[in-house]
Each structure stands twice: as C-alpha cells, then as structure tokens.
Amino acid sequence: MVFIAKKHFMKLLCCFALFLGLACTTVLPGEVEVGLFDFSASTALIEAECRPDMADESSFGFKGRFRLESNLSDGYFIYQSIHRTAQFDGQNMVSVYIAERSFISDCEACNTDVVETLNVVLLSKTQNELLNGQCPRPSLREGILVEEDESPAESASNELSTANRCGIVLREGIPMVDGENVFPPGPIPGGFDAVRACGTLLAHVVVTPSEQGCPENCYKDDVVYYLEGIRKE
C-alpha cells in the first residue's frame, strides 16, 4: 500500500483493520446469537476540537455480527469469515484488535501496528423506541465523549485514559432500565433483544522505528468514526 492523501488513507486504514483478524471455521463461535448489524461509519459528527485534522467528512459501511458465550460477557465480533473477541457488560459491546501492517515506499522500514477499538452501546427494543429509533448524537472532546446537554463539570468528571481518547461510548442519553417499561438488551424467548448499536470505531496507529529509522510523515494521528448499526437479522 502506498501512502496517499491523509483522509483517504485513514478511511482505508479503518477498512483494512476490519478485514484483519483470525479466520474462523464454518461453525460460528459463541453460543448466543446477538444479531447481524448493518453499520454506517462517518466522521461527520466528529467535532474539530477532538481531531482538527479529521474535520473533512469521510464515511463507509460494513456488516458485522455479534455473538456471545453462555456467560453473556465473553463474545465475538464477526466480519464475513473473520472473527475478533469482544466483551459485553450488559449494555456496551467492545472489541479490540491489534494488527501488524507493512507499508510500501519510505514507510516500509517502520514497524507499524493498527490498534482498532469498536465500542458500541446495544439498544433494546424499548430503549430504541424511547429514542425514536435514533442513536444519541455525541459531542466529542479530547479524551471525552459526552452528550450535547452535558455540563462542563460533568464532562470534566468523565476523563478517559490517553489510550482511549475519543473512543469510549458513555451511556448518557441511553434510557435507564427499570425492569417494567424499559428493558436491557439481552436474551428473550426466541432470540436476543438488541435492535440498534451506537458508538465509535477508533483506529490508533502505533509506529516503532526500526534500525533504519522511520520518516516523520509515517506517524499518523488517531482517527475516530461515529458508528450507527441497524440490526438486519
């Protein structure tokens, strides 16, 4: 791959990372089917103060399937014939994958890894209905993901680690579960109650210079995409 215009490079970078992983067998991992989601990924909602260099809109789409083990916490994100491990806490599904990449031209001497974090909130049918079938619209800050109506004090209390900056989905704006009218995503008779996924896709490029060194232009900033996924089956 040859380094090209930055926004197109970062778009391709995220696409490449989605194709990376461990090939799975024809038997899908996990015992509990969560569902197949049709995702749209876009930088359109990313505010300039989070990543000024990524202000130009860029987008792509993909389909992915979530499955869980019987403990309902260990899981998988499956893309075509590729699977990645994931963790589910009852609302958030997170999948992190690290892939080594080799690039052509003046950056081929660099040791480059792509750390991709897919982090989404799964919405149950009742939660989705209360949100009128739409994901909460996030406002991104350096290190913080907050809702539009969150106060500066509340934002300051939600500091994230540097490694997770702009890539964590907080639950502000998600209808609270009450067990009577609002239910969490989870197993139900005949399936799994999860109809929408809202979150982020973060690609972090880690460059380690080799003995030959690594040109400055080979060091790339993080890029974060806003994700919205609609369950298809």
Domain ranges of the chain: 13-95+116-206+222-231
pLDDT band at 230 (very low <50, low <70, confident <90, very high): very high
The pLDDT of residue 6 is above 50:
no
- Give the mean model confidence (pLDDT) for residues 12-34: 66
Contact 189, 93 (CB under 8 A): no
pLDDT band at 203 (very low <50, low <70, confident <90, very high): confident
pLDDT band at 130 (very low <50, low <70, confident <90, very high): very high
Q: What is the pLDDT of residue 31?
A: 96
**Strand 196-208 versus strand 32-42 pairing type:** unpaired
| 29-85 confidence digits (pLDDT tens) | 999 999 999 999 987 555 444 544 544 557 899 999 999 999 999 999 998 878 899
Q: What is the pLDDT of residue 47?
A: 44
Alpha-carbon span 230 to 197, nearest angstrom: 7
Distance (Å) of CA 217 to CA 22, 55, 91, 115, 205: 30, 19, 39, 19, 13
Q: What is the pLDDT of residue 74?
A: 98
Q: What is the pLDDT of residue 131?
A: 94
Burial class (CB in 10 A: 0-12, 13-18, 19+), 83: buried
- Give the mean model confidence (pLDDT) for residues 162-189: 76
Identity of the amino acid at 110:
C
Calculate what percentage of the chain has a pLDDT beyond 70.
65
Alpha-carbon span 37 to 45, nearest angstrom: 20
Q: What is the pLDDT of residue 54?
A: 47
Q: What is the pLDDT of residue 50?
A: 52
DSSP-assigned beta bridge partners for residue 63:
38
Six-digit token string for 108: 């081929």
The pLDDT of residue 120 is above 60:
yes
- Give the mean model confidence (pLDDT) for residues 3-30: 53
pLDDT band at 155 (very low <50, low <70, confident <90, very high): very low
Q: What is the pLDDT of residue 85?
A: 96
Identity of the amino acid at 13:
L
**DSSP for the chain?**
-----HHHHHHHHHHHHHH-SEE--SSPSSSEEEEEEEEEEESTT--TTT-GGG-S--EEEEEEEEEE-TTSSEEEEEETTEEEEEEE-SSEEEEEEEEEE---GGGTTSEEEEEEEEEEEEE-HHHHHHTTT----EEEETTEEEETT--HHHHHTT---GGGTT-----TTSPPP-SSS---SEEETTEEE--EEEEEEEEEEEEE-BTTB--GGG----EEEEEEEEE--
pLDDT band at 197 (very low <50, low <70, confident <90, very high): very high
Calculate what percentage of the chain has a pLDDT beyond 90.
38
The pLDDT of residue 168 is above 50:
no
DSSP-assigned beta bridge partners for residue 204:
115
The pLDDT of residue 103 is above 90:
no
